[in-house]
Chains A and B, each alone.
Chain A
Amino acid sequence: MLKEFDLKKDIKLDFTSGWSYDPAPESTDHVHIKDQYDHFIGGKFVAPQGGQYFDTTNPANEKKLASVAMGCDKDVDAAVKAARTAYDKYWSKMSPRDRGRYIYRIARMIQERAREFAVIETLDGGKPIRESRDVDVPLVAAYFFYYAGWADKLQYAFPGGNPKPLGVAGQIIPWNFPLLMAAWKIAPALATGNTVVLKPAETTPLTSLKLAEIIQEADLPPGVVNIVTGAGDTGASIVNHPNVDKIAFTGSTNVGKIIQKSIAGTNKKLTLELGGKAANIIFDDATIDQAVEGIINGIFFNQGHVCCAGSRLFVQEGVADIIRDKLIDRMQSLIVGDPMDKNTDIGAINSKEQLGTIQRYLEIGLNEGNEIYQTKCDLPDKGYWCCPTLVANVSQSSRLVQEEIFGPVLTIQTFRTPEEVLEKANNTPYGLSGGVWTDKGSKIFNMTNKVRAGVMWANTFNKFDPTSPFGGYKESGLGREGGLHGLYPYLKF
């Protein structure tokens, strides 16, 4: 169904011979996944009061991994009560140094059990083991270490200010970086003296529940961190609970808007990390091969399930053809398949539902008359998969350019002048991130200053660090997570 580009190249790379990789699967022997998981409330694992469980499956083979408790209003209420009691009784009375110690302990235990976390993350979510092992889990430990150190130094972060915790934070996280998002939420909340009720995403609850086990082993006072599993209704019940002081949400812009609306009129403080549609801008004086690697990493990292993904490629006309050709070659070299294989670059799409969303966008693209190129991949029979996809001949008004697809789909547009590309890059309701590639420093700063987005990567893309604030302008969100600025949303002055 997909049209191929007419590649007018003299030399073609041959991917059919020579380089085939033997399977290199990561072992799962050392990992124990229970058949059934309960909520983690008040320091104990407790059965859901509604008695219901739902399945979490491995998107790479559609097999059930475990049943997980379905949270209802009563469960959320119990979790909020536990968090409030923990705040009043233990956490707000403890010395900041001791709070920090607990967070340090969690960080260290995550490092010690990194391999287990990486494997479960990949089984439950479908991301390549290479990424969960080398990116997600090391960053999780780093975020806990970073914020552990802030716990007893907050007075130095806010000149003239006198920071105080808010109380109970309700936190709702997505399925694209399940454990990392839990770390982004829990670590700063605890360091600033708040207690937590966290809900992981419906399709990826297992690493959060594994984290609950560590929190239990770390002997954190009961109720300081509570984890309630479930779907949208469970999240809504956290958002609407009257005894929650703060809501932090990472997810889609649509749900973010619903949350902002539903807490209107209350005193709940709000952080939103929402969708994005990042422009990745390539000037003709960029180092082309580095830029191609950056484009690949920008859009195909984590199957493109990244809110800050560089999903809109803008290429200056002089290098448009060569970039496109090199990109197609590089895309063809990406290995799509078993996420547990250490050679895999692109794993499984997180859920059947998300695969459907991506496919609907590709159909829209076909109907719009775009040129759509997909690499040839041998895909497993079971599971949810999408080969790396490039969409050309696409207009600024196309839904593929305007809307977040959240998959391995890259649109290409061209431009002539910096003014033109700025106009196009900023022509979006989103403003989360962006990229610029050029060898000229002043051009970099011209672009990074004028693109209206919270994170700008120059001659690099998709880099994350606990010291570096992350968050969006416009409809990409409110507030920052990470770095010193990530402390503000959990404090009052």
Chain B
Amino acid sequence: MYMGGAFPRSESERYYPLNDKKGNFIANICLGSRKDFRNAVVAARKAFDGWAARSAYNRGQILYRIAEMMEGRKDQLVAELVKEGSSPKAAQKEAETAIDRVVYFAGWTDKYQQVFGNVNPVASSHFNFSNPEPTGVVSVIAPQNESLLGFVQTIIPIIAGGNVVVVQASEMKPLATLTFCEILHSSDVPGGVVNVITGKTKELASHFSSHMDVNAVVFCEDDSSLKKLIQENASLNVKGVVHRQVKDYYSDENENPYLILDLQEIKTTWHPVGI
């Protein structure tokens, strides 16, 4: 798993075997626990102020660096996607699209504020402006049927906006995701900005949605009981809930800044003029 810039095993010492389509053993994967999640939230909270305070330019540079590092380790990513069941051709396309998406959102880090911020023409003699600020610690249940591209598409817009994340990786396809974590680790992404727990949604979803130091929760599955559970738990501390339902991760619809805006708060500042 990836937590606070380190790669620990689960404190529970539990694991699950990962097999390929034919049932051949690939690797043992950590089976993350509630305690792992809580530790990850602590690491994320610690990283939040620093990441949110990075200049927009610097966040863009770091995201672009991620894409460069992905390019450098593309063969490994493709090989893991193949192990997870992709055809070599599909794996190649997935890795390349994932890299393109990172570049796409890297470019937004110093622009979405200009698109979604305003100077508001108030009637009194005040200067008044609104700008987006990151929501804070976001827990994310990554799309479970997807591997690299689904993971990248879900978390990159969130961290591009200055948030930090604790993510549950796909239970059945965690390999490329974990390599992606190594890429993050070597791309100047500060430890704690992205934290990844491997394990089972069934076990983790209630913790992901009920933790009182998490500000928003994102999930992707089309599962009505999961949705109800997450939305109910979110009410404990008025978390924002974002349900991302993506039909096609390759479509152009995945490229827009509203995906950043979803996890932003709008702050409005007033100051008198002329006194």
Contacts and interface: CB of A to CB of B under 8 A. Distances in A.
Interface stretch (B20-28, B120-128, B144-152): B120-128
Given A265-B228, A483-B130, A454 B268 contact: yes
Given A444-B271, A483-B130, A474 B120 contact: no
Contacts of B225: 265
Contacts of A259: 235
B236 interface: yes
B224 interface: yes
A160 B255 CA distance: 11
Nearest to B228: A265
A469 B268 contact: yes
B127 to A, nearest CB: 9
Contacts of B227: 264-265
A467 B270 contact: no
A493 B230 CA distance: 23
B58 interface: no
A304 interface: no
Contact of A467 (B121, B232, B267): B121
Given A272-B238, A483-B118, A458 B268 contact: no
A260 interface: yes
Interface in A235-257: 253, 256-257
B11 interface: no
A477 interface: yes
Interface string B94-131: 00000000000000000000010010111110101010
Interface string B252-267: 0000101000000111
B238 A475 contact: yes
B156 interface: no
B228 A256 contact: no
B237 A474 contact: yes
B231 A480 contact: no
A402 interface: no
Contacts of A253: 238
B76 interface: no
B232 A264 contact: yes
A459 B275 CA distance: 10
Contacts of B130: 468-469, 483, 485
B215 interface: yes
Nearest to B261: A488
A253 B236 CA distance: 10
Nearest to B255: A160
Interface residues of A, number: 47
Given A260-B231, A264-B231, A468 B237 contact: no
A456 to B, nearest CB: 5
Question: How large, as a class, is the contact surface on chain B?
Answer: 35 or more
B268 A455 contact: yes
Given A465-B122, A483-B120, A473 B272 contact: no
A458 B271 contact: yes
A337 to B, nearest CB: 28
Contacts of B258: 161, 493
A169 B271 CA distance: 34
Contacts of B232: 261, 264-265
Contact of B270 (A460, A478, A485): A460
A280 to B, nearest CB: 13
B240 A478 contact: yes
A448 interface: yes
A456 B269 contact: yes
A152 B252 CA distance: 28
Contacts of A355: none
Contact of B120 (A161, A260, A468): A468
B234 interface: yes
B203 to A, nearest CB: 20
Given A455-B270, A460-B271, A460-B272, A257 B235 contact: yes
Given A257-B236, A478-B240, A483-B130, A457 B270 contact: yes
Nearest to A456: B269
A485 B238 contact: no
Interface in B27-47: none
B269 A477 contact: no
B111 to A, nearest CB: 11
B118 A484 contact: yes
User: Which of A160, A453, A467 has the most B CB atoms < 10 Å from its CB?
Assistant: A467
A159 interface: yes
Contacts of A457: 269-270
Contacts of B269: 448, 455-458
B266 A454 contact: yes
B169 to A, nearest CB: 25
A399 interface: no
Given A465-B120, A480-B266, A483-B130, A260 B272 contact: no
A142 interface: yes
B270 A456 contact: yes
A155 B258 CA distance: 15
A371 B85 CA distance: 70
Interface string A277-295: 0000000000000100000
A456 B267 contact: yes
A459 to B, nearest CB: 6
Interface string B131-160: 000011000000000000000000000000
User: Which of A259, A261, A290 has the most B CB atoms < 10 Å from its CB?
Assistant: A261
B238 A463 contact: no
B116 to A, nearest CB: 8
Contacts of A493: 258
Contact of B123 (A142, A272, A454, A460): A142
B238 A468 contact: no
A263 B238 contact: no
Contacts of B267: 448, 453-456
Nearest to A448: B269
Contacts of B270: 455-458, 460, 463, 468
Contact of A478 (B229, B238, B275): B238
28 contacts: A159-B115, A161-B258, A257-B235, A260-B234, A264-B227, A264-B235, A265-B228, A265-B231, A272-B238, A454-B266, A455-B267, A456-B269, A459-B271, A460-B272, A463-B122, A463-B124, A463-B126, A463-B270, A465-B123, A469-B120, A469-B266, A471-B266, A473-B135, A478-B238, A478-B240, A483-B268, A485-B130, A493-B258
Given A142-B123, A444-B271, 9 more contacts: A257-B236, A259-B235, A265-B227, A456-B270, A459-B271, A463-B122, A468-B128, A473-B265, A478-B240
Interface of A: 142, 159-161, 253, 256-261, 263-265, 272, 274, 290, 429, 444, 448, 452-460, 463, 465, 467-471, 473-478, 480, 483-485, 493
